[in-house]
Amino acid sequence: MENVAEQVNPQIEEAKEVIAEEQSKVQEALHRVVLAALGTVGLVQDEVEHFVNKAVERGQMAEKEARKTVHDVSEKRKGAEKQVDKRFKEVDKRFEEMLTKLNIPTKNDISALNEKISDLTKKVEELKN
């Protein structure tokens, strides 16, 4: 029985590593998408501010109105950032649920298994001595 465990253990460890790497890649890609979305929102705000400043310089817009417009855009940007963050968390949660449904271990599952393996290894070593 111990011989079978020794043969299977390297394959299990390799599978865990592959799963963890793939999960990490997907989460990293999602994170990049979120950062790109936030960067785009920031660029839009910069362009609005530039446009409003030009309108004030040309006398097409009062400075008070311009400040209010920039403030409104800034508040909407903050709201958009919160929404993107919320959506990212929802996607991450759905991803974890999908892995569970597909019977693919999540990062937390792998960590828990690693802890159990460590505990069992210690117990086996104690029993050998």
DSSP the chain: -HHHHHHHHHHHHHHHHHHHHHHHHHHHHHHHHHHHHHHHHHHHHHHHHHHHHHHHHTTSS-HHHHHHHHHHHHHHHHHHHHHHHHHHHHHHHHHHHHHHHTT---HHHHHHHHHHHHHHHHHHHHHH-
pLDDT digit string, tens, across residues 80-92: 778 877 887 887 7
Give how far the C-alpha of residue 128 lies from the chain's centroid of Cα atoms, to the nearest Å.
Answer: 43
The pLDDT score that the predictor gives to residue 12 is 74
Q: What is the pTM of this model?
A: 0.44
pLDDT, tens digit, for every residue of 26-64? 778 877 887 787 788 778 878 888 887 887 787 877 877
